[in-house]
Amino acid sequence: MSVVSAHEAPAPAITLGGVIRAVGFIGLGAIGVTVGLSEVLARAPADTIDFGPPLIAPSIHFPLGTDVLGRDMLSETLHALAVTVTNAGLAAIVVVVAGGLAGFIAARLPYRIGFVLRGIAGILGAIPALLLAILFIGLASRGLAPLAAGLAVAPLGFTRAFDRARALGQSRHAEFARATGISPGALLRRDLTYEFRDSFLSIAARALAAVTIVLSTVSFLGYGATPPHRDLGLMIAAARDVYFDAWWTAAVPAAALALFILCARLAAGLDEGERA
């Protein structure tokens, strides 16, 4: 064995979890490209009525069929997916900032202040995010549904980030850093850099999955998106009267929604039973 080969660094091990996360991110990337090209791929503008005969089953001329108003299901699903992804992205940013980042900073505040905030977030996190989102939308407006969904999911992200930051602050390397005279501000910036560098993508993907479920559900219940800017949840709700007679009107948007959430969950690398 040569000297060069003896000192070569071992190749990083490929784990099942890493492969699953990679598949999730590749799926999210593909969905992002599809959303970016939705105006090109769609054959009709959003909410175009009488594009074809009503309730045509999937065929050569209409690959995903038409709905009760003669709208092309392929075009409508692409437009609705774009709305869903955009709103979920905005809501996920709220979760990352008001949840993950705020929780990490709160863990470095004076003991009582930090744990009071942790207690408030814990109480809000015990309430189903869907109910919180509906409450926030009722206090504001349906146009602020992405903000409401982000704020509804943020308490779970806050408590998770707070607990991780407390554990990190009590670790041996943190005690050693304080003993060497590193200021609390410098230690905070360093830990924040490492925390978000190592787990930012997982935090964002976890938030994306959670807020997508909330946003789609509130739209299904009539508290979210409004035509012509329909999202996938509203498309599923609009098809409720013909679920059994024209299965594709609900199955197509439901499949697109399930695929988006699945990719986000895989990218987050969640353990079984995690809520958000």
pLDDT string in tens for the chain (276-residue length): 444 444 454 555 678 778 898 999 999 999 999 999 998 999 999 989 999 999 999 999 999 999 999 999 999 999 999 999 999 999 999 999 999 888 888 887 887 888 899 999 999 999 999 999 999 999 988 889 999 999 999 999 899 888 887 776 665 655 555 556 566 666 666 666 666 666 778 888 999 999 999 999 999 998 888 777 889 999 999 998 898 889 999 999 999 999 999 999 999 885 544 544
pTM of the model: 0.84
CATH number, domain with residue 135: 1.10.3720.10
Q: Indicate whether 7 belongs to any domain.
A: no
Q: Indicate whether 17 belongs to any domain.
A: no
pLDDT at 272: 45
pLDDT at 217: 95
Quick one: tokens of 133? Answer: 């989102």
Of 209, 79, 210, 80, nearest to 133 (Cα)? Answer: 210
Q: Indicate whether 120 belongs to any domain.
A: yes
Q: How far apart are CA 218 and CA 134, in angstroms?
A: 7
Quick one: tokens of 150? Answer: 């982000």
pLDDT at 192: 63
pLDDT at 118: 92
pLDDT at 14: 74
pLDDT at 273: 45
Q: Indicate whether 203 belongs to any domain.
A: yes
Question: How many domains does the chain divide into?
Answer: 1
pLDDT at 162: 87
Q: Which residues contact 206 (CB under 8 A, 6 or more apart)?
A: 157, 264, 268, 270, 274, 276
Q: Indicate whether 176 belongs to any domain.
A: yes
Q: Indicate whether 246 belongs to any domain.
A: yes
Q: Indicate whether 119 belongs to any domain.
A: yes
Q: Indicate whether 31 belongs to any domain.
A: no
User: Which residue range forms the structural domain that includes residue 246?
Assistant: 67-268
DSSP per-residue codes, the chain: --HHHHTPPPPPPP-HHHHHHHHHHHHHHHHHHHHHTHHHH-SS-TT-TTSS-TTPPS-SSSTT-B-TT--BHHHHHHHHHHHHHHHHHHHHHHHIIIIIIHHHHHTTS-HHHHHHHHHHHHHHHHS-HHHHHHHHHHHS-GGGHHHHHHHHHHHHHHHHHHHHHHHHHTSHHHHHHHHTT--HHHHHHHHHHHHHHHHHHHHHHHHHHHHHHHHHHHHHTTSS--TTS--HHHHHHHTGGGTTTSTHHHHHHHHHHHHHHHHHHHHHTPPTT---
